[in-house]
Structure formats: structure tokens, C-alpha cells
Amino acid sequence: MSRAHYVLGISAFYHDSAAALVRDGEIVAAAQEERFSRKKHDPRFPGHAINYCLEQAEIEAEDLSAVVFYDNPLLSLDRIVHTLSQSGDRGLAAWLTGAPGWMAVKLFVERLVQQELGVNVPLLFVEHHLSHAASAFYPSPFEEAAVLTLDGVGEWATTTLCKADSDQIQIIEEIEFPHSLGLLYSAFTQFCGFKVNSGEYKLMGLAPYGNPIYADRIRAEMIDVKPDGSFRLNLDYLGFLDGQTMTNDRFHEFIGGPPREPESRIGRREMDIAASIQKVTEDVVLLIAKHLRDETGSKNLCLAGGVALNCVANGKLLREKIFDRIWIQPAAGDAGGALGAALLGAHQYFGVPRPPVDPTRDRMNGSYLGPLYSNEEIRSFLDYYAYPYDTVSDDERARVVAKALSQDKVVGYMVGRMEFGPRSLGARSILGDARSETAQRTINLRVKFRESFRPFAPSVPAEASGKFFDLDAESPYMLLVAPVREEIRTDVSQAATDDMLEIVNQRRSTIPAVTHVDYSARVQTVDGVAKPDYKAVLDEYGKLTDTPVIVNTSFNVRGEPIVCTPQDAYKCFMRTDMELLVIENQILYRDRQPEFKDKENWQDEYGLD
């Protein structure tokens, strides 16, 4: 019998570094470094994540056939040097901070890998957008597909259109830096006072509050979009080429004022800006998708790259029915590049055949690819510190959680392997009662410590989703936004106010905690195969309430990476107003816990995102 091919993929040095391991093309493990290092979007070499991957597979470093880096540092350096030469003195400051990082670190990946693993393993480099494309296609339930990756930038490419079939992925068109839809969205994100590379999600959440009054002007002046979706940015408005910020004075004049200060009040202007850039983005994505469909003739679309996390655009893409089926890599950002790199190494370098495709199920294991902690490990921690808990069976756990939720309690839920990607999918989640009129405000302000305009996502059993949402596809990764069904909506008088709290608190449906101001919801459909424990909670909750829909938000506080270990979960539980904590088969009640003496100044430790 031939030796198994273990291939380790890594992404690092930009943002959100990660590692992923595949065995003969099957995904064994994947995790982001931030979950272990507790530094949000940690870009450093993913030593902890690599260690976890080998731990999960229980293999030695010398069992690896290769390590594959998700990016070609020489191509990236080429872009950096080229850009520097094009922008002359104006770009010097920007690239003095960026270029040394690439030259000093990226070119020494081999040494870092050798240091981490203690042995020499062949190191391969693949192209950034090909890594994204591979992460989207190989695990998908499609034998063949069109593949679209939309990102800020990777080496030179910002947008890549591919045709994939069996083991092969072929790039058919690319749009190159500096013309980037991702960077344009990030520019507006920064202008609105949110952080680049993490605040884009906030901007998307803000969009439904506004009107797209700037959209036509953006199209007229900032981005030239062709009928096939290809585009060019007007760099006169953008600062990322030759400055330290994404925008410049001309951009500010375009909007009619200076950027919003982070943490200051969000006003009508920011809402309208968000709505406008969201509209432009959706339009471009739809045009590119139509063109890609024409070029490839495929009925299936795979999506990856940071822009693929724009679930509002994804939902529109689905409803437009340009493609019959869409599959989106749940770790669509740079972290997912590690997985794509590993899969490329397996299929294209070592020639491992792609495992047989099941058209009904992808190969991501529900994205539950991170570490699991045994009951013994958990109890050893709880017992040592004498934290009171009950140990319950799986069935009893589902009943206890469902009952607590039905009583409008907030539950920290840590069961099973941690999710890979930015979304919590019921393994490291904070759960709440979707029927509650106060849950959104309570969880946002007393648990998450963040702005209250951000909507929560609902989890719903796959078979029941049609009762609550206009969604005719499964959405296991919370990457599709769908309208809440008309029949469960309630009329709301148009609020003549800019007070977002007042708008948020209006009851819009029978599941107000997950209904956004535009009656949309970022749905997670749950089935009993990938996540039986979570499905059991939903089913029990459905029995109690007739409404099997619960709030599912990430298990962290603002600025903190999602919890990974039992210790992380306990700390987060005790620092917030959650009433119940579930760690595997252990249930902890807040009112039974001893006083928590927090040595860490966590509000300073976790910078605002």
C-alpha cells in the first residue's frame, strides 16, 4: 500500500494566518492562528495552528509530503516594487512599512517552517488566487464549476475567474491590482470609521439602514464598470497606492466631509455610504457572475476570497438564478487560502485524485475542522478551580439549553470541533431567543459589548427554514442573506429618526432578534449530519416554542478572537452577562459560580475591531 500524502497548507503575514492539513485530498484539520494566540486576525507565522493540525492527525512532521504556502512571495514583492516605482516619492511612506515585511519574512518562510517542524519538508508556493479558487472548488459538491475569487489583492490579482473540472482549475480571466473591488469596499469601510480587514462586515450590516444615494456617483466617478463586470478604479480618489490610508482628500470631498472618527456616533451619512457601496458591489458581482456563466457554461458557481463573505451580495446572486447552484467556501478570506494551498499541493503537485464528489454534501465537515476538547480535559480544568457544573447526557444537554433559551436566557455553547472560518456555527456560539424583543440589544450591549446596529444571525433546522425565510437552498455556513417570510413579518411605522437604537428595537417579525431593518436575515441552516448536537437543541427548542429559530452569534466579546479552549469559554462567560455555559457535556450556571477575579485587563487587551 502506498504511503498517504499529508500536505500542510499555510497562510500568513498579511492578516488572519492559518494552517490546514489534508490527507490524500481529504481535509483533516484547519484552524486560524488567532484562536490559539488570542490576537485577533493574527498575521504571524501560524505555529500554533500547524501544531494543532499535526495533533489532530497524530502524525510526525516527517510524515508530511510537503508544506504549501498560499502565496508566491516573489510575485507579491514584484507588485510592491512595481507600485513603489510607479508612485514615486508619494508612495515611499506606505511601502517603507509594507515592503520590508515581505522581503524579510516571506522570503524566509522556508526557515520558519524548518524551525517549527524541526525537519526539512519540501516547501511549495502557489498563487494566492489559485489558493482561494482551490479552497472553493475542491471541497464543493460539484464535479465541475465556474469559480470566482474576489479579494483585496493577492500578488497581482484582485479578481480571478476560473473554470474547474475534476482535479483541474484553469484561470480564464483576471483583474489586476490596483483595480480591486475588495480594496474599494475597504476604503469605504475605513472612511466610515471601521477597521480595514475586519470592519467590512460592519459596513455590510449598516447598509440596510441607509439609501444608496451615492451609488450613481460612485459608478460615474470612482469605478468604471464594463458590461462584462470588469472594472477599473479611478485612483485619484484612493490613497492605498501612495499613502498610509485607504482614502484621500478628493475622496473626502466626494462624500462632502471628513471620515468618521472610530467609535463616534454613526449618522445618516454613514448609513447612506454603506448602502451605496454595498449596492455598487452587488451590481459588479452580478455582472461578473453573468459573464462567468457565459464564458464557462457551467451551472455551478464556487466563490471564495474576502468579498465572498459579503453574504448580502451572495444572497442576491442566488436569487438572480444566474447559476443553478452556488457553493461558498466558509473560510473565504485569507485563512481559507491555507486550505486551498494544501488541496492544490495534493491534487496538482502530488497528483492525488480528487475524492468522489457527493452532489448532496460538500467535503468541509460542516467547517468543524478545529480542535475538540474531551470531557476529561474540561472536567480537569473545572475541578481544579472548583467551578460548579453538572455533567449531563447529550439529550439532557439539548433539553436544558432549549429550556434556557425559551426563557430568554443567553447561553454560551461550546460543543464539538471548533469552526474554521470567521463564522460561529454552533460549536463556539452564543445563543439567544430569536423571539425575544430585547435579545439583540441585550446580547450586543451586555454580552458582546459592541454597537447595537449589527444584526444577529438565525440558526434554523434545514427542513424548517422555508417556514421562516425565503430561501430555496441550504445555507450551512451563514453566508447567504435571505428575506424573512412575509407572513411572519409585522408592520413597522417608518421611523423618522437617525437614532439607530430606536430603529433596531422595532419589532419586525415574530423572530425580531434576527430580523434586520430590511426584513433580511443571515441564515444558518442546520442538519443532523454535520452538527447533530446543535440540531437537537433546535429541535427541542422548536418543541417548546413552535419556533425552531435561535440567535447564533460568535462566542467572544468585541475585539476578541472566538473562544477556542474551555478556559477561553469560561473567561468569556464570566466577563459577560451570559446565564448558562455549556462545554461539551458540562453545564455551568452563572449564579452558582464563585466570584471571578479577573487578573487580565481584557478590555485593553482586546483592541476594538
Catalytic positions, written as ranges? 15
Q: Which is nearer to another protein, 48 or 132 (CB)?
A: 48
| Least Cβ distance, residue 48 to another protein (angstroms) | 7
Interface positions with another protein (CB under 8 A) = 36, 38, 47-48, 51-52, 54-55, 58, 60-61, 116-119, 371, 373-374, 376-377, 380-381, 383-386, 564-565, 567-568, 599-600
Phi, psi (5° rounding) for residue 50? -60, -45
C-alpha torsion 106→108→112→118, nearest 10: 150
Beta-strand ranges (E) seen in 180-299 are 223-225, 231-233
Q: Which is nearer to another protein, 209 or 381 (CB)?
A: 381
| Least Cβ distance, residue 8 to another protein (angstroms) | 12
| Least Cβ distance, residue 93 to another protein (angstroms) | 33
CB 367 within 8 A of CB 425: yes
Instruction: Please list the alpha-helical segments (H only) found in 368-438.
Output: 375-384, 394-406
CB 366 within 8 A of CB 531: yes
Q: Which is nearer to another protein, 85 or 380 (CB)?
A: 380
Q: Which is nearer to another protein, 89 or 385 (CB)?
A: 385
CB 16 within 8 A of CB 41: yes
| Least Cβ distance, residue 124 to another protein (angstroms) | 19
Going 215 to 216 to 218 to 224, the CA torsion angle's sign is positive
The three-point CA angle 333-335-341 to 5° equals 105
Q: Give the three cell numbers for residue 531.
A: 452538527
User: 57 pairs with which residues across the strands?
Assistant: none
Alpha-carbon gap, residue 256 to 235, rounded angstroms: 18
| Least Cβ distance, residue 605 to another protein (angstroms) | 12
Alpha-carbon gap, residue 595 to 468, rounded angstroms: 41
With CA atoms as reference, report the closest residue to 579 among 441, 444, 430.
430
Residue 464 corresponds to which amino acid? A
| Least Cβ distance, residue 546 to another protein (angstroms) | 41
Q: Which is nearer to another protein, 502 or 598 (CB)?
A: 598
| Least Cβ distance, residue 34 to another protein (angstroms) | 12
CB 413 within 8 A of CB 555: yes
- What is the three-class DSSP state of 511? coil
| Least Cβ distance, residue 599 to another protein (angstroms) | 6
Q: Which is nearer to another protein, 463 or 600 (CB)?
A: 600
Q: Which is nearer to another protein, 61 or 133 (CB)?
A: 61
| Least Cβ distance, residue 50 to another protein (angstroms) | 8
User: Left (φ > 0), alpha (ψ -120 to 50) or beta: where does 583 sit?
Assistant: beta
| Least Cβ distance, residue 5 to another protein (angstroms) | 20
Rg of the chain over Cα atoms, rounded to whole angstroms, equals: 23
Q: Which is nearer to another protein, 167 or 377 (CB)?
A: 377
- Where b means 16+ CB within 10 Å and e means fewer, 546-585 reads ebbbbbbbbbbbbbbbbbbbbebbbbbbbbbebbbbbbbb
Q: Give the three cell numbers for residue 601.
A: 485587563
- Where b means 16+ CB within 10 Å and e means fewer, 315-347 reads bbbbbeebbebbbbbbbbbbbbbbbbbbbbbbb
Alpha-carbon gap, residue 111 to 525, rounded angstroms: 43
Beta strands 300-304 and 144-154: pairing type?
parallel
Beta-strand ranges (E) seen in 126-176 are 144-154, 157-165, 168-176
Distances (CA, A) of 371 to 29, 45, 57, 108, 558: 8, 19, 11, 28, 22
Phi, psi (5° rounding) for residue 362? -80, 180
CB 328 within 8 A of CB 417: no
Q: Which is nearer to another protein, 44 or 361 (CB)?
A: 44
| Least Cβ distance, residue 566 to another protein (angstroms) | 9
Q: Which is nearer to another protein, 321 or 597 (CB)?
A: 597
Q: Which is nearer to another protein, 29 or 148 (CB)?
A: 29
